[in-house]
Amino acid sequence: MFRTARRSKARLVLAAALAAGMAWTLQAVTATTAQSQVANVAASATPSASYTSSWETVSAINDGIDPPQSNDTQNPRWGTWPEEGTQWAQLSWDEPVTVASSDMYFFDDTGDGGPGGVRVPASWSIEYLSGGSWQPVSGGGYGTATDQYNSVSFGEVTTTALRAVLQSGQGSVGVLEWKVYGEGDNGEPSGWNPPSHLVQPLEEVWAHTEDTYGGGQGPLAFHNYGWDQIMDTGGKVNYCVRWDSQNSVDASTRDAIEAKLQEQYDLWFDQMAGWDGFPFDRIEVEVVGWAAYDRDLLQWQDDSVDVYIGDIREDAPQCAEDCGRFFHQDGNYPDCPGGYDHHYDQSLWLTQGMGGGAGGDWGQRMGQEYFVDSLGASQVTIYLHEVGHTFGLDDFYDWTPTGQCCFIMNAGSSSTITEFDEWMLRDWWRHLKSRYGL
Ligand SMILES: [Zn+2]
């Protein structure tokens, strides 16, 4: 619900959230897994072609420029005029890539008043280099529409080169931009290459973030995002559970909560592994402490977690401030009993009877019953939304980005993390990573 962008404001914002009564609720949780995302790897390829008109350039096909229209008179183009028949454009990589889909934007100068000699092909297909020979990819649906990308999905191939083979129709052929989606052989797509339909809305989101959290360095001035925390810890998040409830909780539920937190973190961060310099294969989540009103509410006797009783802050139990990241943003905990391993980066604050939620650098808050009742669900919607805030993602109370209606950070519109949510997370990493020397 509310994010707390700066430490000095955090408690005020939280108080406001409490006063507002956490008025919104979310739809029922449904079982869907997040899809992994890949990038346009064409940017790292070397282009070549069967023939290129002397006034055109083959490097146009992967220069990253989205054409305004098929008759593009502004940007570099690849065309074969006056050659006709079978022509091809090729992308070659130094290291193998694994690819399974493509977006093709054809050059067609119909109505140009000029030569008028370049038209969409009569037909075309994609081939990949395999053992020194060209093989067709499986799949089909090779569109030839003008003024848009023609998308093709095909059976995944790992190769060092792809060819688009074009059979000319009413003229010579040409391509303005060819995107190919996949991963490098190390599973590390490089560069910033979101799917074309997400480029504009992602730009809008970042611009809006800068406007909203403007001044000085804007959102980059804050230094306690979840990103800062995991970079300090080496890819781990320690939790304190604030059991703000008079209900009792047993050891199996305690352990199920920790497992659920790990599972939900994975839903956000599986896509980040190896992406754009992100250094962690997985964010490890561990619950190190529990805070409660009364020891009897915690129905276990083992000492697997630290227990804090009767330390009441913000009218709720809290683990020791000496161990909390919110209170020690330098990442040092000299007075934490038990030392560094007992510190907590975030709190999972579970409040009896609460609807909705709140999230920020301090952690996430939602209903105690809601979270426990969600332990059997694959996606804990409110929690996932609030974790988004912990990593900088904003709310969308009064606007939506172009073409995007439904995603988990637009509260109430999606019960699951979507492709757009994933790219917003990646965009935060893209903007922040330089502060870590990456
Ligand atoms: Zn929110």
Q: Name the 3-class secondary structure at 284.
A: strand
Beta strands in 55-173 (DSSP E): 78-79, 86-106, 123-130, 133-136, 150-167
Q: Is 191 within a domain?
A: no
* Residues 266, 390 within the same domain: yes
The encoded tokens of residue 374 equal 């969600």
DSSP characters for 285-315?
EEEEEEEES-GGGEE--S-SSEEEES-EETT
How many angstroms is it from 433 CA to the middle of ligand 1?
A: 24
**Amino acid at site 371:** F
Q: How confident is the model at residue 20 (pLDDT cuts 50, 70, 90)?
A: very low
* Residues 279, 171 within the same domain: no
pLDDT in the model for residue 158: 83
Q: Residue 413's closest CA among 427, 396, 428?
A: 396
Would strands 363-367 and 346-351 be described as parallel, antiparallel, or unpaired? Answer: parallel
Q: Evaluate whether 52 touches 90 at the Cβ level (below 8 Å).
A: no
d(CA 259, CA 132): 48
Average pLDDT, integer, range 306-327: 97
* More confident call, 11 vs 317: 317
* Residues 171, 315 within the same domain: no
How many angstroms is it from 393 CA to the middle of ligand 1?
A: 9
Q: Is the confidence at residue 27, as pLDDT, over 60?
A: no
The encoded tokens of residue 362 equal 């301090």
Q: Name the 3-class secondary structure at 337.
A: coil
Q: Is 189 within a domain?
A: no
Give the least confident one: 12-16, 71-75, 295-299, 419-423: 12-16
The encoded tokens of residue 155 equal 């059976």
Q: Evaluate whether 91 touches 46 at the Cβ level (below 8 Å).
A: yes
Q: Residue 209's closest CA among 17, 384, 3?
A: 3
Average pLDDT, integer, range 252-266: 98
Q: Is the confidence at residue 10, as pLDDT, over 80?
A: no
* Residues 83, 163 within the same domain: yes
Choosing from 162, 184, 206, the residue where a domain stops is 184
* More confident call, 433 vs 97: 433
Kindly report the CATH number assigned to the domain that includes residue 44.
2.60.120.260
Q: Is 58 within a domain?
A: yes
As a whole number of angstroms, the longest Cα–Cα distance in the chain is 85
Give the least confident one: 50-59, 149-158, 295-304, 346-355: 149-158
- The radius of gyration of the chain from alpha carbons, rounded to an integer in Å, stands at 26
Percent of the chain as helix, strand, coil, to the nearest 5? 25, 25, 45
The encoded tokens of residue 364 equal 């996430």
* Residues 115, 232 within the same domain: no
Average pLDDT, integer, range 28-33: 28
DSSP characters for 200-243?
HHHHHHHHHHHHHT-STTGGGG---SHHHHHHHHTSEEEEEEEE
Choosing from 145, 163, 184, the residue where a domain stops is 184
pLDDT in the model for residue 187: 45
Average pLDDT, integer, range 159-174: 94
pLDDT in the model for residue 115: 57
How many angstroms is it from 412 CA to the middle of ligand 1?
A: 10
Q: Which of 25-39, 215-229, 398-412 has the highest mean pLDDT?
A: 398-412
Q: Is 192 within a domain?
A: no
**What does pLDDT average to over the chain?**
87
pLDDT in the model for residue 30: 27
How many angstroms is it from 362 CA to the middle of ligand 1?
A: 14
Q: Is the confidence at residue 265, as pLDDT, over 50?
A: yes
pLDDT in the model for residue 50: 94
How many angstroms is it from 173 CA to the middle of ligand 1?
A: 49
pLDDT digits (tens, 9 = 90+) for 90-148: 999 877 788 888 999 999 998 756 657 999 999 999 999 987 889 899 877 899 999 99
pLDDT digits (tens, 9 = 90+) for 389-424: 999 999 999 999 999 999 999 999 999 999 999 999
How many angstroms is it from 392 CA to the middle of ligand 1?
A: 11
d(CA 64, CA 45): 11
Distances (CA, A) of 258 to 133, 163, 229, 254, 263: 52, 49, 18, 7, 9
Q: Evaluate whether 234 touches 283 at the Cβ level (below 8 Å).
A: no
Average pLDDT, integer, range 331-340: 96
Q: Is 359 within a domain?
A: yes
d(CA 225, CA 257): 23
pLDDT in the model for residue 65: 84
* Residues 60, 13 within the same domain: no
All residues at 6 or more sequence positions from 194 whose CB lies less than 8 Å from its CB, including other chains: 39, 202, 423, 426
Distance of CA 164 to the CA centre of its chain: 30
How much of the chain, in percent, has pLDDT values that exceed 70? 88
Q: What angle do CA 339, 315, 312 make, to 5 degrees?
A: 35
* Residues 78, 218 within the same domain: no
* Residues 370, 422 within the same domain: yes
Q: Give the pTM.
A: 0.61
Choosing from 137, 162, 184, the residue where a domain stops is 184
Q: Is the confidence at residue 15, as pLDDT, over 50?
A: no
Q: How confident is the model at residue 1 (pLDDT cuts 50, 70, 90)?
A: very low
The encoded tokens of residue 77 equal 């183009």
Q: How confident is the model at residue 26 (pLDDT cuts 50, 70, 90)?
A: very low
Q: Is the confidence at residue 244, as pLDDT, over 50?
A: yes
Q: How would you label 262-285 residue by residue, b for 16+ Cβ within 10 Å and e otherwise?
A: bebbbbbbbbbbbbbebebeebeb
What is the domain count for the chain?
A: 2
Q: Is the confidence at residue 311, as pLDDT, over 80?
A: yes
Q: How confident is the model at residue 156 (pLDDT cuts 50, 70, 90)?
A: confident
* Residues 140, 17 within the same domain: no
d(CA 290, CA 265): 19
Look up the domain containing 300 and give its range: 7-37+197-436
How many angstroms is it from 424 CA to the middle of ligand 1?
A: 14
Average pLDDT, integer, range 252-269: 98
How many angstroms is it from 103 CA to the middle of ligand 1?
A: 34
pLDDT digits (tens, 9 = 90+) for 41-88: 888 888 999 999 999 999 999 988 889 999 998 889 999 999 999 999
How many angstroms is it from 326 CA to the middle of ligand 1?
A: 19
How many angstroms is it from 397 CA to the middle of ligand 1?
A: 9
Q: Give the number of other CB atoms < 10 A from CB of residue 389.
A: 25
